[in-house]
Structure 1
Amino acid sequence: MLKEERQAYIIKQINVHNKVLSSDLSVQLAVSEDTVRRDLNELAESGKILKVYGGALSKSFHYPFQQNDVYAKDSKKIIVHKTMNLIKSGMVLLAGGGTTMIEWARSVPDNIECTVFTVSPLVGLELTERAGVEVILIGGQLSKNSHINTGALTINLLADIKVDLCIMGTNGLSYEGGVTESDWEVVQVKKAMIKSSQKTAVISIGEKLGSVQKMKICGLNAISYLITDLDRSDPILAPYKNEVQVI
């Protein structure tokens, strides 16, 4: 594979999953980690990605308030619109982090009155602009990569609440592998979020379907809703319908 092809693949993976690990890219591309690191350095120097220890982040994920740089923004707006149909005044919600969740927070209408717990300071800041939303931030150690609070404090605080609905994104999602992530601390927080919720909605752009990360959060039967930008009749979604309500 030519360098240009490798780097195009890397950018695609970073945009879809928000972050990538050098070790994973090395396996996927069948090249050495040194080659991957050189590619990441070149892409970072050209301003296309942000290099971090062990991998790289997308610029839209790292700078979420620069709305023009959000990857697949139209697809994420479709997801946000579908998710809003689950929200009713008086509900108590739990919100995860990520660019799609930030788009969701920006779109919550002012006439909805609800309480939202969140592990994401960025989502919390957006929700404070909504007149009818009471925002409660779940504290903890702020992850530099995922931009959510993690660690024992976060998990202990989550254990003390019970919400109507949890809404969260994911780094990997497949019929066989379920909901997966590449960060162990994030996995533990998301497991705690699911336990704290009567129902859970996982939101994902269609491009992530079929992808599997190294660490499992849960199987599909542990979540209530799968919300994507795809039409519900899309054949890609057919196997998922046996395990979860697809929206």
Structure 2
Amino acid sequence: MLKEERQAYIIKQINLHNKVLSSDLSTELNVSEDTVRRDLNELAESGKIIKVYGGALSKSFHYPFTEKETYAKDSKKEIAKKALSLIKDEMVLLVGGGTTMIEIARMVPKNLRATFFTVSPLVALELVENSNINVILLGGQLSPNAHISVGSMVVNQLSEIHVDLCFLGTNGLSLEAGISDSDMEVVQVKKAMLKAAKRTAIVSIAEKLDSVQKMKVCNLSAINYLVTDLDPSDPALEGYSKYVELL
């Protein structure tokens, strides 16, 4: 694989999953970690990614208020429109973090009356602009990678609430492995969010379909809705329709 092809693959994986590890990229690309580190350094120097110890982070995720940096923005807007069809007046909702969740928050109708719990300060800032919405930010240690509250404090708070609907993003989504992630602390928060909700919707761009991360959040059977940028009749979603309602 040429360096340009290798670096294009790296950028795509970072944008899809927010964070990648040099060791994982080395295995996937069948090159040495030194080669991967050189690629990451070049991409960071050109301003395409954020280099961190052991890997890299997505600029799309870490600068969500910069419109031009958001990866697959049109797809995420389409997902947000579909997700909002699940929300009714007077609902109590729980939402996670990420750029798709920010798009949902931006599109919440001004006349909607609802209560939103969130573990994301960035999502909370968007939601609070709507004067009809009651916004409750669940606090804890702020993850520098995921930009959400993590740790025992937020898990305990989640154990004390019961919501009508939860919106969750995901880093991995497959028929066999279900919902998965690459960060153990984030996984624990997502599991607590699932327990707090009567119904849960996973929101994800279609590019993440059939991808698997190292740590499992739940089986597809634990999810009620899957909201993607594809039409529900798309062949790529055929297997998923056996487990969840597609939007």
Distance 1:160 1:134 in 2: 18
Moved more, 192-201 or 17-26: 17-26
Moved more, 171-180 or 18-27: 18-27
Are 1:211 and 2:211 an aligned pair? yes
Match of 1:237 in 2: 237
Match of 1:94 in 2: 94
Deviation at 1:68, TM superposition (A): 2.1
Match of 1:48 in 2: 48
Counterpart mapping for 1:135-154 below 5 A: 135-154=135-154
Distance 2:218 2:56 in 1: 25
Normalising by structure 2, we get a TM-score of 0.99
Q: Deviations 1:69-128 (Å, cap 9, x if unpaired)? A: 111111001100000100011000000000000111111111001000000000000000
Deviation at 1:168, TM superposition (A): 1.1
Distance 2:226 2:53 in 1: 32
Match of 1:172 in 2: 172
Deviation at 1:228, TM superposition (A): 0.3
Match of 2:19 in 1: 19
Deviation at 1:19, TM superposition (A): 1.7
Query: Secondary structure of the equivalent of 1:20?
Result: strand
Q: Deviations 1:208-243 (Å, cap 9, x if unpaired)? A: 000000000000000110000001110110000111
Are 1:159 and 2:152 an aligned pair? no
Query: Secondary structure of the equivalent of 2:106?
Result: helix
Deviation at 1:21, TM superposition (A): 1.4
**Count of matched residue pairs:** 247
Normalising by structure 1, we get a TM-score of 0.99
Distance 2:53 2:64 in 1: 20
Distance 1:133 1:51 in 2: 37
Distance 1:126 1:94 in 2: 14
Are 1:127 and 2:127 an aligned pair? yes
Amino acid at match of 2:9: Y
Distance 1:54 1:210 in 2: 25
Counterpart mapping for 1:186-205 below 5 A: 186-205=186-205
Are 1:76 and 2:94 an aligned pair? no
Distance 1:69 1:15 in 2: 10
Deviation at 1:54, TM superposition (A): 1.8
Q: Deviations 1:170-191 (Å, cap 9, x if unpaired)? A: 0010111100000000000000
Match of 2:30 in 1: 30
Query: Secondary structure of the equivalent of 2:134?
Result: strand
Deviating 4+ runs (over 2 angstroms): none
Distance 1:28 1:85 in 2: 38
Distance 2:138 2:149 in 1: 7
Deviation at 1:58, TM superposition (A): 1.2
Q: Deviations 1:143-189 (Å, cap 9, x if unpaired)? A: 00000000000100000000000001000101111000000000000
Distance 2:215 2:33 in 1: 21
Distance 2:12 2:165 in 1: 31
Question: Aligned-residue CA RMSD in angstroms?
Answer: 0.7
Query: Secondary structure of the equivalent of 1:75?
Result: helix
In structure 2, list runs of 5 or more residues that go unmatched.
none
Query: Secondary structure of the equivalent of 1:50?
Result: strand
Query: Secondary structure of the equivalent of 1:200?
Result: strand
In structure 1, list runs of 5 or more residues that go unmatched.
none
Amino acid at match of 1:113: R
Match of 1:181 in 2: 181
Distance 1:203 1:129 in 2: 22
Query: Secondary structure of the equivalent of 2:238?
Result: helix
